[in-house]
Structure 1
Amino acid sequence: MVTRIVPLVLLLLLVAIHAQLWAGRGSVGNVQDLRQQIAAQQAANAQARLANERLAAEVNDLKGGLEMVEEKARGELGMVKQGEIYVQVVRPAQR
């Protein structure tokens, strides 16, 4: 009787380990999903890194001279120096 119990217990352990491999945490499907999530996060990190580098370059330009500040003020705020005349050109809509 004991000789039949040991192989049965070993077989049950093997089945449990095999079920964990295919359906549980750390399963083949779960690992594939995690790899896809990692790839998506790495892509998002790369985009954020580029945006941060652009912003850092802009900050350095703003700290470095008044030309960048003047360009920003003229482009975004419509700044005009004393003695200048502001002319707005409206283009017709393209068809």
Structure 2
Amino acid sequence: MMRLFTVLLLVLLGLLQYRLWFGQHSITDYWHKQDELQGQLASNQELEKRNRLLKADVTDLQKGLDAIEERARNELGLIKKDEVFFRIFSQTDNTGKK
């Protein structure tokens, strides 16, 4: 009787250990979820950084004309009245090399 009880307990322990290491919601699943979580946190930090930069850009555009003028110059080629615009080209030979 005692031997049967010991065998039964060992089988039960084996089944519980199997579930702990390999079953659904096991330790390996936990480790995989931790890795996914770290990746997601890193992605969130990058997105938060991007959002802060965009928010600062919006604030600059809302508050002053300097930021609007700078954007117009860089992105649209704004030239003010009475300004002289120079475009410098480098000389190249027939092959396109300098």
TM-score range, shorter chain: 0.7 to 0.9
Q: Give the drift of 1:29.
A: 1.7
C-alpha RMSD of matched pairs (Å): 2.4
> How many residues are aligned here?
93
Mark the runs of 5 or more structure 1 residues left unpaired by the alignment.
Answer: none
Q: 1:24-63 CA distances to partner (integer Å, 9 max, x unpaired)? A: 1222221111111111100000000000000000000000
Number of the residue aligned with 2:39: 40
Report the equivalent of 2:27: 28
Determine the structure 1 residue equivalent to 2:60.
61
Superposed displacement of residue 89, structure 1: 2.7
Deviation track 1:66-93 (CA, whole Å, cap 9, x = no partner) reads: 000000000111111122221123467x
**Could you say if the C-alpha distance between residues 91 and 40 of structure 1 is closer, same or farther in structure 2, counting changes exceeding 3 Å?**
farther
| 1:72 paired residue number | 71
| Matched-pair identity in % | 32
Q: Could you tell me which residue of structure 2 aligns to residue 89 of structure 1?
A: 88
In structure 2, list runs of 5 or more residues that go unmatched.
92-97
TM-score when scaled to structure 2?
0.77
In structure 2, the CA distance between the partners of 1:63 and 1:91, relative to structure 1 (3 Å rule), is: farther
Instruction: Identify the range of structure 1 (26-35 vs 43-52) with the bigger mean alpha-carbon deviation.
Output: 26-35
Which 4+ stretches in 1 moved above 3 angstroms? 2-13
When structure 1 is superposed on structure 2, of 62-71 and 29-38 the one drifting more is 29-38
TM-score normalised by length of structure 1 = 0.79
